[in-house]
Structure 1
Amino acid sequence: MENNDKLYYADAYCQTFTSTLEEAGVDQAGRPYVVLRQTVFYPTGGGQPCDLGTINGVRVVEVEEIDGQIRHFLERSLPESAAEVTGSIDWERRFDHMQQHTGQHILSAVFDDTFGAPTVGFHLGTERVTIDIATAELTEETARQAEQLANRIVFENRPITARFVTTEELSAMPLRKQPTVTENIRIVTIENIDHNPCGGTHPSHTGEVGPIKILTWQRNKGNVRVEFICGWRVLTEMGKNMQTLQTLSKQLLAPERELPAAVDRLQAEAEKMKKALQTAETRLLDTEAKELLQQARSVQDALLVTACFSQRPMPSLQKLAQRIAELSSQSVALLFAANEKTQLVFASGQAVHYPMNQLLQEVLPLIEGKGGGNPHMAQGGGIASIPVQQVMEHAANRLEQALNSKTTVTKE
């Protein structure tokens, strides 16, 4: 397609058009498409997403330039009788892309000219825009200054031109970067700041870009990736942030300007409550461990504690078993939980010499389980194919047999 048939180059503000249908087909992925004599639809390229819209009322879902053809991929095929078509782009989407792309040109120029950080990567996303700038770090002060300078250029409403240039004209221009093609080179110029090879769509003046707002940045592959938004996206983001602030203000009973202090107080209170809860949990765990020890039965010189629980997390089982072993050096705790799978924790006091990890390995085959540990603490789990009570009884019987068959416990 010739450049003069790419109507988005002639007039970035054109929203509707008529054209003759040159080709209709289906690609290898089964997507129907049409090729037109001329088009307003910008195809994906140069870091800018494609235009969407309709052709003869059928939704355009993707636009790509393939082997010199601009293919308009459609939600469904056009009628075979279609010869002349009418197209209409989603103007809100197009203008958003114009704002973001031109804002990128401005911000990149500022970072390059003022701070010596050229742009080496660009992505225009559906919610955020990013540029990768060649610098080791970006400070808060530098980001603030860059944002102010970029917005000053916006408010000065400088003219923007975009045109195809000759080789002679190109050689006289102070280009921001070298073109990636050798013919049909299009230069976008922002007065007194930028000459950039670019095939994207842009407004006629910088004022239409609207405010430019840097959101965040981080190191990325030796550069710094800067995330920002422009124009209507800034207003949308501000609206969301204001709604969030108002909600937090009501919830925390504090004016917006006092929210940071209110959050600090809330965090301090939460930390205090967390410590109090941990203390209470420790006391409850200690009480539970003592009660279980009182119910223990003697096997040789050991105190055997067995217990089954429903929906008790593994960390809680481990803490309880460990506490029982700490309270009595002659104790053996066999604890079980019927969760999504059967979980078990075995622990023994220091005076017990029958290895808990060995006992675990003898029990796990019952539930096709896996686990491990050491002689005084072992844990594992497996499928709940049999009642957890049956697993507990098997473990207790196996331990009793081992303790009764030989001397495995040494008195303190």
Structure 2
Amino acid sequence: MNENTIKLYDENAYSTEFTARVISCEKIEGENGQYKAVFDRTLFFPEEGGQTPDRGVVYLLSEQDIERLKTAGTSESADAFTQGENDINVLDVQIKSDIIYHYLDKELEEGSTILGKIDFSHRFSNMQQHSGEHIFSGIVNSKFGYDNVGFHLSDSIVTMDYSGQLSPEELADVELQVNRAIYENREIRAYYPSPEELADIDYRSKKELTGAVRIVEVDGYDVCACCAPHVKRTGEIGILKIVGFQNYKGGTRVSILCGKRALEFLSGEHNMIQELAGELSTSGDNIPNIVHKQQEEIATLKRSLSEAGEKLLNIEADKVPEDVRNVCLLADKDSDPNVIRRVVNRLVSEREGYCGIFFGDDESGYRFIIGCPDGLNSNDVLTQLRKSFQVRGGGKPAMVQGSIEGATSDNIMETFGQLG
């Protein structure tokens, strides 16, 4: 049975290279060319605590490589052993019962020695996000008494679920306090207290913990049980920005970004605003006013267009001889459904038969509204149309609405002409 894997990332979150002995390596059934390996120790942080795993590569070391490392000590980096085709990619890292499993794209021999190298850019980004989340959750807990009941740190976003409602103003205030803590460059300490020491520590945790408990303490802001790597000082987080929030299961879900991810997000937002400002020939801070004015102008134009469309439809309705029992009109596909409904209601009040307006075209199909006076059932028209065409929709006897495909304007007029 494999022994627990030594977690080198607990000792130093900033280390990037390590050597280890291969305890086991087995092919994964059903996965083409993937292997699951266990090392006696590792720097690779697994998927755990709501956080994605580390990325990186491992290299198989020869006897000569091992001697070189012994002679050179820490002065020789993993790059000296990289030969391209000998790189073994770490595709995933998982943990179960304190044994860490590395999912590889090549096989390793049991008992061999490897040199591992993590993608520190990815590791450090996760450290920034996770440390920022701790400060945010610590402030929410101390200020409002809400618990962090859900946490997810992916490669694109960080989300936290809190047990109570937070208003936009309250969230803005928390964001400001978190960034103040970042500017203060407070110490962040990760350690394993003894059971006696742990009993006297007031710390946050999502669940009851047994065994050794790792505590991450942000000076003056938070004390929380956590298994993940963190930055040493809050200043390394750089910045925290809330990028979204919503009510969620009676509480609040908050999305944040920290460090480089936050910078990239804000740069993207800035570039978009600058582009819009250029298109609108205005300054960035005046964009909302310009957009609001344009929305009002568009609404006015839509009303005018709708009124003109209603006049035209009424003119077409007036052209239909009074002795025509069933009336069918055609309208433009962009017609306002409210206008269509009003004209249909007018026709129903004046005629004894079915009255319908179809708006669309032969190529993309038509939408329709059909009405009739008491004693008739508009659904009977749909029954006739369905005999030859694909019709969706329905309604009450007095009025139905829906869409029709595969019918030309001539087909529709012919069907109406056959109604009793």
Q: Does TM, scored on the shorter chain, surpass 0.5?
A: yes
Shift of 1:29: 4.6
Identity %: 29
1:338 to partner: Cα distance? 3.7
Alignment of 1:62-211 (within 5 A): 62-74=92-104, 76-78=105-107, 83-140=112-169, 142-177=170-205, 180-211=208-239
Q: CA 1:304–1:147 in 2, change beyond 3 Å: closer, same or farther? A: closer
Query: Are the structure 2 counterparts of residues 12 and 383 from structure 1 closer, same or farther at C-alpha, using a change threshold of 3 Å?
Result: same
Distance 1:381 1:263 in 2: 34
Within 5 Å, give how 1:7-406 maps onto structure 2. Answer: 7-30=8-31, 31-56=34-59, 57-74=87-104, 76-78=105-107, 83-140=112-169, 142-177=170-205, 180-291=208-319, 293=320, 301-305=323-327, 315=337, 319=341, 322=344, 325=347, 328-330=350-352, 332-333=354-355, 338=362, 346-348=370-372, 350=373, 355-367=377-389, 369=391, 371-375=393-397, 377-379=399-401, 384=406, 389=410, 392-397=413-418, 399=419, 402=420
TM-score by length of 2: 0.79
Using the TM superposition, name which of 79-88 and 111-120 deviates more.
79-88
CA shift, 1:307, in A, is 6.3
CA contact (8 A) 1:321 1:347 kept: no
Aligned partner of residue 109 in structure 1, secondary structure: helix
Length-normalised TM-score, structure 1: 0.81
Report deviation, 1:131. 2.1
Residues 313-345 of structure 1, C-alpha deviations (whole Å, 9 max, x = no match): 895995597177258425654666645567766
Q: CA deviation at 1:44?
A: 0.6
Once residues 379 and 224 of structure 2 are traced to their aligned partners in structure 1, the CA distance between those partners, rounded to angstroms, is 69
Are the aligned partners of 2:313 and 2:343 in contact in 1 as well (CA < 8 Å)?
no
Provide Cα deviations, 1:76-103, integer angstroms capped at 9, x if missing partner: 2236599222222121111111011111
Whole-angstrom CA distance in 1 between matches of 2:411 and 2:185: 80
1:302 partner SS: coil
List gaps (5 residues or longer) in structure 1: 403-412
Paired residues of 1:121 and 1:131 also in contact (CA < 8 A)? yes
What secondary structure, in the 3-state scheme, does the structure 2 residue paired with 1:23 have?
Answer: strand
Secondary structure, aligned partner of 2:278: helix
Residue identity opposite 1:36 in structure 2: F
Distance 1:118 1:387, change over 3 A: closer
Give the direction of change, closer, same or farther, for the CA distance of 1:315–1:51 in structure 2 (3 Å limit). Answer: same
What's the Cα RMSD here? 3.4
Sort the Cα spacing of 1:134 and 1:390 in 2 relative to 1 into closer, same or farther, 3 A.
closer
Distance across 2 between alignment mates of 1:274 and 1:289:
22
Paired residues in the alignment total 388
CA shift for structure 1 position 167: 0.8
Moved more, 182-191 or 312-321: 312-321
In the other structure, the counterpart of 2:74 is: none
What secondary structure, in the 3-state scheme, does the structure 1 residue paired with 2:264 have? helix
What secondary structure does 2:387 align onto? helix
- The structure-2 alpha-carbon separation of the partners of 1:178 and 1:117, relative to structure 1 and needing over 3 Å to count, comes to closer
Give the C-alpha shift of residue 368 in structure 1.
6.2
Select the structure of larger CA radius of gyration.
Answer: 1
Name stretches of at least 5 consecutive residues in structure 2 with no aligned partner: 60-86
Greater alpha carbon shift after TM alignment, 124-133 vs 78-87: 78-87
Distance 2:168 2:264 in 1: 26
